[in-house]
């Protein structure tokens, strides 16, 4: 994996701001886009800007073909058996809501989550709790945010209909033992959905090998465009779903008193689609697969190990998550005593063009439960370098020193 060559693919990294290049460490929120993705989307807008799956003129047929090929690229990226199991959504949030509104949960059914879910995998279950009386049960994690398997085993019973858990946490980078979770849940007859927004961009995923029932992720976190996401679902399970968004392009025929749904995946992709986004999604998946997901994971671990070591002696810095960087994926979340997380982010940006995230990272429930006002979060990706990590660490040390 040649990081210098990879950086050449990202136009924004060649620009300077106040005489310095940007150091982009906000990848858990949104990644930068390579020229290969930008060009694929521009090609659609410039050369065949039409509807897919409807018109039979040359522009329409080209759009249909390119979108179909993009779906197959996502199938390859996820390890799904068939492309009909790939549903395009706006993002992970919509994908999870598609499941929550289509699964047919009833009063008394239990949904298990972790206790550090993104709001996208918490609020839908709270809404269903109010609306129809399901029961949402968060499984308590260990003190260092690692997954507590014994707590999960205690929570499992025949009333659990769905285990819906974040695969890799955007809060701390911890990855749950998905294979073990899925196996135990299936033994109790429960389905499993993984929020893969922070895992799909960073490691090799094979949904078939995992035997997961549903897997949701966002393309804007993996070098692709915003406004496009993916829900993978096992074919037989998706066939049982009743769509919660209906109308144009979800049906093959209608009468005044009846309708016929399209086959998968069309019945779940209502209305005119984000064709450029779908094409961009395929280009992003292809780009990452060419680099190699195992190589990406190894690179990020190396960066996180360096960052962790360089900041390990700062007494005023508190790390959220396990101390071992191998357990935190590409994420380094921290607080500095005496500084608001937003102040940390603003200082790093103004002093060294270092861009990080600050706040509660859409995990308000965890921060509220731990009486914390938020945190600063540096998140790494394929184009980040050890030199950037050193600049970040030196700047954080200087900020901490200035507080003394």
Residues 163-216 have pLDDT tens digits of 999 999 999 999 999 999 999 999 999 999 999 999 999 999 999 999 999 999
Residues 217, 230: Cα–Cα separation, whole Å: 5
Question: Is residue 20 predicted with pLDDT exceeding 70?
Answer: yes
Q: How confident is the model at residue 329 (pLDDT cuts 50, 70, 90)?
A: very high
Q: Is 29 a catalytic residue?
A: no
Question: Is residue 62 predicted with pLDDT exceeding 70?
Answer: yes
pLDDT digits (tens, 9 = 90+) for 295-311: 999 999 999 999 999 99
C-alpha Rg value of the chain to the nearest Å: 22
Collapsing DSSP to helix, strand or coil, 260 comes out as strand
The strand pair at 375-379 and 357-359 is best described as: antiparallel
Mean pLDDT of 381-386: 98
**301 token code pair:** 């671990």
Where b means 16+ CB within 10 Å and e means fewer, 246-260 reads: eeebbbeeeeeeeee
Q: Secondary structure of the chain: what % helix, strand, coil (to 5)?
A: 45, 20, 40
Report the share of the chain in percent with pLDDT over 90.
97
Question: Is residue 83 predicted with pLDDT exceeding 90?
Answer: yes
What's residue 402's pLDDT?
Answer: 82
Lookup result for tokens 């914390």? 372
**What is this structure's pTM?**
0.98
Compute how many other C-beta atoms are within 10 angstroms of the C-beta atom of residue 41: 20
What's residue 404's pLDDT?
Answer: 66
- Domains, in order of start, for the chain: 3-33+292-397 (3.90.1150.10), 37-290 (3.40.640.10)
What's residue 319's pLDDT?
Answer: 98
Catalytic residue among 29, 67, 172, 362: 362
**328 token code pair:** 């935190």
Question: Is residue 220 predicted with pLDDT exceeding 70?
Answer: yes
**155 token code pair:** 């929570």
Q: Which of 292, 318, 278, 332 is nearest to 71 (CA)?
A: 278
Residues 196, 199: Cα–Cα separation, whole Å: 5
Residues 160, 185: Cα–Cα separation, whole Å: 8
Q: How confident is the model at residue 401 (pLDDT cuts 50, 70, 90)?
A: confident
Report the share of the chain in percent with pLDDT over 70.
100
Counting other chains too, the contacts that 287-293 makes at CB distance below 8 Å and 24 or more residues apart are 287/9, 287/34, 287/36, 287/37, 287/223, 288/77, 288/201, 288/222, 288/223, 288/382, 289/73, 289/76, 289/77, 291/1, 291/6, 291/382, 292/1, 293/202, 293/203, 293/204, 293/205
pLDDT digits (tens, 9 = 90+) for 129-165: 999 999 999 999 999 999 999 999 999 999 999 999 9
């Amino acid at each position: 994996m040649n990081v210098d060559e990879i950086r050449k693919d990202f136009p924004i990294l060649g620009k300077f701001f106040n005489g310095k290049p940007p150091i982009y460490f906000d990848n858990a929120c949104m990644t930068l886009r390579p020229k290969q993705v930008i060009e694929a989307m521009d090609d659609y807008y410039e050369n065949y800007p039409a509807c897919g799956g409807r018109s039979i003129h040359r522009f329409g047929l080209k759009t249909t073909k390119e979108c179909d090929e993009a779906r197959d690229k996502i199938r390859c990226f996820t390890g799904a058996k068939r492309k009909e199991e790939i549903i395009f959504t706006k993002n992970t949030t919509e994908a999870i809501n598609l499941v929550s509104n289509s699964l047919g949960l009833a009063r008394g059914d239990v949904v298990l989550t972790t206790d550090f879910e993104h709001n996208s995998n918490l609020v839908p279950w709270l809404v269903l709790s109010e609306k129809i009386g399901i029961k949402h049960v968060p499984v308590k994690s260990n003190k260092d945010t690692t997954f507590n398997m014994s707590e999960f085993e205690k929570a499992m019973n025949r009333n659990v209909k769905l285990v819906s858990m974040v695969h890799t946490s955007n809060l701390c980078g911890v990855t749950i033992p998905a294979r073990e979770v899925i196996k135990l849940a299936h033994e109790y007859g429960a389905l499993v959905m993984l929020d893969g927004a922070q895992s799909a961009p960073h490691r090799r995923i094979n949904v078939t090998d995992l035997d997961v029932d549903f897997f949701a992720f966002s393309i804007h976190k993996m070098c692709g465009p915003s406004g496009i996401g993916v829900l993978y679902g096992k074919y037989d399970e998706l066939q049982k779903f009743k769509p919660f968004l209906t109308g144009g392009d979800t049906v093959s025929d209608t009468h005044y008193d009846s309708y016929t749904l399209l086959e998968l995946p069309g019945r779940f992709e209502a209305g005119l689609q984000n064709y450029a986004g779908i094409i961009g999604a395929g280009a992003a998946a292809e780009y990452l697969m060419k680099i190699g997901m195992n190589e990406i994971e190894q690179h990020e671990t190396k960066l996180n190990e360096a960052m962790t070591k360089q900041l390990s002696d700062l007494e005023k810095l508190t790390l959220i998550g396990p101390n071992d960087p191998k357990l935190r994926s590409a994420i380094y979340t921290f607080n500095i005593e005496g500084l608001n997380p937003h102040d940390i982010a603003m200082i790093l940006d103004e002093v060294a063009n270092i861009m990080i995230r600050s706040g509660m990272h859409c995990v308000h429930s965890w921060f509220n439960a731990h009486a914390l006002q938020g945190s600063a979060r540096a998140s790494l990706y394929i184009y980040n370098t050890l030199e950037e990590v050193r600049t970040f660490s030196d700047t954080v040390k200087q900020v901490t020193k200035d507080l003394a």
